Amino acid sequence: MATCETRTVPFVLVGAGGVGAALLEAIVGARALHKARYGIRFSALAVCDSSAAVSGADAAGGLSDAEIAALIAHKASGGKLASQSGAVVRPAEQDASVFLESLVDKYSKEAPDTIVVDCSATDATVPALLKAATTANMRAASANKKPFADSSFRNFRELCLAPTSPARVRYESSVGAGLPVIAALARVVSAHDAVTLISGSFSGTLGYAGESFSAVVGKAKELGYTEPDPRDDLGGVDVARKALILARTLGMALELSDVVVEPLYTPELAELSVPDFLAALPTLDAAFAAKVAAAAAEGKVLRYAANVRPPAADGTGGGSLKVGLVAVPASSPLGTLSGSDNLVEIYSQWYAATPLVLRGAGAGAGTTAAGVLSDMVELANTRG
């Protein structure tokens, strides 16, 4: 029988609001489970936002649960970490990426088995994540899409496709929050099951149908399902990012600029301010309703979906990644989707007649944090 010694698993968290705060809460809530079931205890060596990094009074021992609770409350009240006592404040002239990289550098020496956790929404974390991924024993878990989608394929390959990557890097919540899309796809890949198509609705905002277009978007924004500027969703770039991460996970050497994206709004709405854009949305309703009706006449429904087609095994075909409005049979998994769920279909050698389907909530701080926490537990059990 196993010994019941508890291993301390140190981590450094970047991003302390929203998802980051939810992650810290989940970690504290899961202490008894993690000890009993996995023999581990997560220890926050530092928590950072764009202003500063905060460590506990006992720096080597990590932040205490009381210090974590105080930090969450401070952030929830709108405070910056720089105003916390003992904070290491980022010098105003220093780039955020340099600040974060130097922090990771410090822990790579002091606590080399640290997990670098990215719950921010910045691409300033790229150097820090690369550092963690390529430093012996360090590990990285990220809910942040940008280091995997906005950064170059070369960076992605170094982060996620190196032989050491499975042991060092996890990025589940960068696509569909905690919905285990990356985990499922990674299993399909490792089993050498050739993927022929990934088709997915990755955006809670855009999965709706049946109401007027402007009403659906307005409601989604109210519920916090959209980015601050809804065009980040409606323009398809957020969907493109998620689909690109899946395509790259298959090994496809694509850049974000290679993705063919059909936005859901007309070019003349692109330059407006956010309030003006929201006010102008009803002008799109009639054209959208006509498309819905045309699809319905064929027994189909509209979905805003991404289609990833890898090159054929014999190297022909080249592969493609397209994001746009598609009409799908109402009875297909994607067609039966309703509400704000995400849905991903994976077609492959072993999922040929019918796809492997994952469906469920794909947004929200709680489920996003849950995905990161699962990633951290997996990393705690990997070999460096």
* The only residue of 85, 190, 257, 273 in contact with a second copy, by rule CB under 8 A: 190
Nearer to a second copy, 32 or 297 (CB): 32
Q: How far apart are CA 383 and CA 302, in angstroms?
A: 45
Nearer to a second copy, 180 or 235 (CB): 180
Q: State how far the alpha carbon of 176 is from the alpha carbons of 129, 147, 168, 331, in Å.
A: 20, 16, 21, 22
Find the part of the chain contacting a second copy (CB under 8 A) among 75-83, 232-240, 295-303, 356-364: 356-364
Segment 26 to 45, residues that bind a second copy, using CB under 8 A: 26, 29-30, 33-34, 36-40
Nearer to a second copy, 38 or 123 (CB): 38
**Six-digit token pair at 274?**
């956010």
Find the part of the chain contacting a second copy (CB under 8 A) among 58-66, 163-171, 208-216, 304-312: 163-171
Place of tokens 């589940």: 172
Q: How far apart are CA 302 and CA 208, in angstroms?
A: 9
4 counts as binding a second copy under rule CB under 8 A: yes
Q: Are 168 and 375 in contact (CB under 8 A)?
A: no
Q: How far apart are CA 186 and CA 204, in angstroms?
A: 23
Q: How far is the CB of 235 from a second copy (least distance, A)?
A: 26
CA 219 to centroid of chain Cα atoms: 23
260 counts as binding a second copy under rule CB under 8 A: no
Max CA pair span of the chain: 67
Q: How far apart are CA 44 and CA 55, in angstroms?
A: 8
Q: How far apart are CA 48 and CA 273, in angstroms?
A: 31
Count of residues of this chain found to bind a second copy when the rule CB under 8 A is applied: 68
333 counts as binding a second copy under rule CB under 8 A: yes
Q: How far is the CB of 254 from a second copy (least distance, A)?
A: 17
266 counts as binding a second copy under rule CB under 8 A: no
131 is catalytic: no
* The only residue of 110, 146, 178, 269 in contact with a second copy, by rule CB under 8 A: 178
1 counts as binding a second copy under rule CB under 8 A: yes
Q: How far is the CB of 82 from a second copy (least distance, A)?
A: 30
* The only residue of 98, 121, 183, 278 in contact with a second copy, by rule CB under 8 A: 183
State the first-to-last Cα distance of the chain, in angstroms, to the nearest integer: 24
Nearer to a second copy, 122 or 374 (CB): 374
The residue ranges of DSSP E strands in 91-246, in sequence order, are 115-118, 139-142, 169-170, 195-201
* The only residue of 60, 164, 260, 299 in contact with a second copy, by rule CB under 8 A: 164
Q: How far apart are CA 309 and CA 365, in angstroms?
A: 30
- How many C-beta atoms lie closer than 10 Å to residue 296's C-beta? 15
Nearer to a second copy, 167 or 327 (CB): 167
Phi, psi angle pair for 47, to nearest 5°: -125, 130
* The only residue of 191, 260, 287, 290 in contact with a second copy, by rule CB under 8 A: 191
In terms of Cβ atoms closer than 10 Å to its own Cβ (0-12, 13-18, 19+), residue 176 is buried
Catalytic residue, chosen from 145, 242, 291, 300, is 242
356 counts as binding a second copy under rule CB under 8 A: yes
Q: Are 80 and 17 in contact (CB under 8 A)?
A: no
Nearer to a second copy, 15 or 263 (CB): 15
Q: Are 366 and 22 in contact (CB under 8 A)?
A: yes
Q: Which of 34, 117, 137 is nearest to 382 (CA)?
A: 137
Q: How far apart are CA 195 and CA 130, in angstroms?
A: 27
* The only residue of 188, 198, 216, 239 in contact with a second copy, by rule CB under 8 A: 188
Q: How far is the CB of 336 from a second copy (least distance, A)?
A: 5
Phi, psi angle pair for 7, to nearest 5°: -85, 140
Segment 230 to 259, residues that bind a second copy, using CB under 8 A: 251
Find the part of the chain contacting a second copy (CB under 8 A) among 93-101, 144-152, 287-295, 333-341: 333-341
Contact set with a second copy (CB under 8 A): 1-2, 4, 26, 29-30, 33-34, 36-40, 134, 158, 161-167, 172, 178-180, 183-184, 186-193, 251, 331, 333, 336, 339, 341, 349-351, 353-361, 364, 366-367, 369-371, 373-374, 377-378, 381-384
Active site residues: 242
